[in-house]
Amino acid sequence: MNAPITRRDFLGSTLLASGAILLRSTTPADILGAKDEFTGYGGIGEYSTSNGNTLDILRAGHSIRDGTYDPLPKNVIDTGETYDCVIVGGGISGLAAALFFRRQGGPSAKCLVLENHPIFGGEAKQNEFLVDGKHLIAHQGSAIYQLQYPNSFLARFYDSIGLKTPKLTYQKWAGPQPEMPLSRTPYEAAGLEHGQYGFWFGARFDQRPGLWLIDPLGKNLRGAPISEKTRAEWLRYLKGETLLRSKFEHPKVEGDASSRYLDSITLEQHYMDRFGLSRDTVRTFLSPIEGGGSGLGPDALSAYSDYAYEMLHPLADEKDGTDQMFPGGNTTIARLMVKSLIPAAMPGPDSVEGVTGNNVDISMLDVSGAPARIRLSSTVLSVEHDGEPTRANSLAIAYLKEGKVYRVKARSAVMAGGSWTTKHIVKGLPETHRKAYAQFHRSPCMMANVAVRNWRFLYKMGITGCRWFEGTGNYMDVRKLALTSIEDPGIGPDSPIVLTLKVLYSYPGYSTEEQGHRGRAEMLGTSFAEYERRIREQFTAMFAHAGFDAQRDISGIILNRWGHAYLNPQPGFFFGNNGRPAPREILRNAPFGRIAFANTDLAGAMDHRYSILEAQRAVGQLLDQVLEA
């Protein structure tokens, strides 16, 4: 932890190496070529070789898509192992499936989790930096969780894995400067209501250099370089003032008339109807920010996607909100699950402090004879019944590890890896299921974590967060961190922090599926060095006037690229079209022989709570197969 930060050396070498690539236009094939121009600096600590989907992960994943191992080669190595359940994917859903299986499958039930990354967690992983001797942590993807009603299923689940005090305590203001309100999560924008937030307008609005509007709400957007009509529309939206003529009934229960109506239109149409926005206003100022929880802009999404999360009914709003966040986001929840599943793999007490303060003992994750095992860096290539699916007693599961293909046997399997690989690797998938999965579209996201030595430049501008509408990313916020394994209980403008840019790829006007393809081509076709350059330039354009110097102030940048980050529910995804069942219901309600389906994408809402609930359902569907045999 005290090793000097290596990123400057890295930066020097990647910039040199990338010179050639910047001189010509790049394609994904160039970037994915022999030399790794893609992955970039991974930070320090346990997650340093697992920043999003690295080049190795991509290559293995694309070998599934391209059918490289279909049919399987003749030299598959049979491990001779048989498990009661094999779980594909070691994200929150896969880990939850393993836990439910161990708890419900009887004392002798054995399960194996196969996960393609070098560490478990899926989208719930973290980055770590060492900045001027301070250890900083930030999330790679999955960030927040909500307080639940204390006797709800989810609250009891949290409790069972050692999350005994879900309401966290956060850093307090420190230092001589007058205090500013800070957010606890990347999505809170605490400064907006307090006049300590900024909107930045650049070349897209003919502003060279860019123009800042500080306190956009307090100023009613006056001074923004936009027409009076746009100003009135956007302000109505920002202030939540709906049109009087707009009749709207908030969905109360999933599947009620209001939710079904919302699922028949786009989110864009919904905003236009409710707030009187023009399509152009939605696409310029709300896209992709307001569809961000579903990965694309409102034009590509079912209007119900905005409400699907609420149907989990967290604890009714407390004064200071129900959203909570560990410094590394839901990484801590994944670690708590592993601690419950394989206690020896996570030394120390069975608590948040235990799992955040100690390293994983990787050697204990996959121990011969153990009732639960997690095998990392293992990409599952195929899951196939041994014989006719309705009568087969077992499955053959092949996976790729360090260039070799292995096979294990299982009496059941939970597919928790997500739609984009499941549809390829389950062999003989019935047409109903194939057609259902064909309606699952996922789009990419890049989470750029930018470690800065201090945030005096923001403080000087009188802001703690901001939004912009062109270039890389759309918003960022200074966060006060939960006091779990955090060295510094105080935060002020002199503190080193990590600013997180969530980069989404929306192409308004194209179909939901096409936007995903285009986004992936863009994200995969851009080298680490090029993104680093763009981020430094973006920060310079926005903050140099306030004393920001990219060379001096940025200590490190980690890119976490998720090729299939978000499920993007198009209209009809949730409740079906023209009397046909919704695709998610087919997969939820009908296991295929000994194979059941999990992952948060089956809910149509990307949320770790759904990852857990889908896992619980999937395991329940398989128990009879395993217990009676």
Among 119, 445, 450, 466, binds ligand FAD (CB under 6 A): 445
Per the CB < 8 A criterion, the answer to whether 466 and 200 are in contact is: yes
Beta carbons within 10 angstroms of residue 310's beta carbon: 13
Per the CB < 8 A criterion, the answer to whether 556 and 451 are in contact is: yes
Distance CA 237, CA 323 (A): 23
Q: Which stretch binds ligand FAD (CB under 6 A): 35-43, 411-419, 466-474, 541-549?
A: 411-419
Nearest by Cα to 129 from 11, 37, 276, 1: 1
Distance CA 6, CA 483 (A): 27
**Peptide bond before residue 186 is cis, with ω within 30 degrees of 0:** no
Nearest approach in angstroms of CB 615 to ligand FAD is 8
Amino acid found at 620: G
Output the CA–CA distances (angstroms, integers) from residue 263 to 255, 280, 306, 409, in the order listed.
Answer: 10, 22, 10, 41
The reply to whether 306 sits near ligand FAD by the rule CB under 6 A is: no
Three-state DSSP class for residue 450: strand
Nearest by Cα to 260 from 307, 190, 211: 307
Q: Which stretch binds ligand FAD (CB under 6 A): 223-231, 282-290, 514-522, 605-613?
A: 605-613
Nearest by Cα to 479 from 324, 303, 314, 309: 324
Beta carbons within 10 angstroms of residue 213's beta carbon: 19
Nearest approach in angstroms of CB 272 to ligand FAD is 27
Among 131, 376, 398, 416, binds ligand FAD (CB under 6 A): 416
The reply to whether 437 sits near ligand FAD by the rule CB under 6 A is: no
The reply to whether 591 sits near ligand FAD by the rule CB under 6 A is: no
Residues 145-174 interacting with ligand FAD (rule: CB under 6 A)? 145
- Helices then strands (H, E): number in the chain? 20, 22
Among 89, 198, 291, 389, binds ligand FAD (CB under 6 A): 89
The reply to whether 569 sits near ligand FAD by the rule CB under 6 A is: no
Among 11, 88, 189, 300, binds ligand FAD (CB under 6 A): 88
Distance CA 14, CA 550 (A): 17
Nearest by Cα to 119 from 445, 443, 374: 374
Nearer to ligand FAD, 356 or 611 (CB): 611
Q: How many residues bind ligand FAD (CB under 6 A)?
A: 38
Residue number closest to ligand FAD, CB atom: 91
The reply to whether 535 sits near ligand FAD by the rule CB under 6 A is: no
Per the CB < 8 A criterion, the answer to whether 49 and 42 are in contact is: yes
Residues 309-338 interacting with ligand FAD (rule: CB under 6 A)? 330
Q: Which stretch binds ligand FAD (CB under 6 A): 2-10, 73-81, 92-100, 219-227?
A: 92-100
Q: Which stretch binds ligand FAD (CB under 6 A): 250-258, 310-318, 418-426, 457-465?
A: 418-426
Q: Which stretch binds ligand FAD (CB under 6 A): 176-184, 522-530, 570-578, 603-611?
A: 603-611
Among 42, 52, 91, 162, binds ligand FAD (CB under 6 A): 91
The residues, ordered by sequence, that sit 6+ positions from 193 with a Cβ below 8 Å of its Cβ are 217
Per the CB < 8 A criterion, the answer to whether 598 and 93 are in contact is: yes
Among 141, 162, 327, 591, binds ligand FAD (CB under 6 A): 141
Q: Which stretch binds ligand FAD (CB under 6 A): 8-16, 18-26, 147-155, 562-570?
A: 562-570
Among 7, 102, 110, 117, binds ligand FAD (CB under 6 A): 117
The reply to whether 39 sits near ligand FAD by the rule CB under 6 A is: no
Among 40, 291, 328, 418, binds ligand FAD (CB under 6 A): 418
On the 0-12 / 13-18 / 19+ scale of CB atoms within 10 A, 286 is: buried
Residues making contact with ligand FAD (CB under 6 A): 88-94, 114-117, 122-124, 141-145, 330, 379-380, 416-418, 421, 425, 445, 447, 562, 565-566, 599-600, 606-608, 611
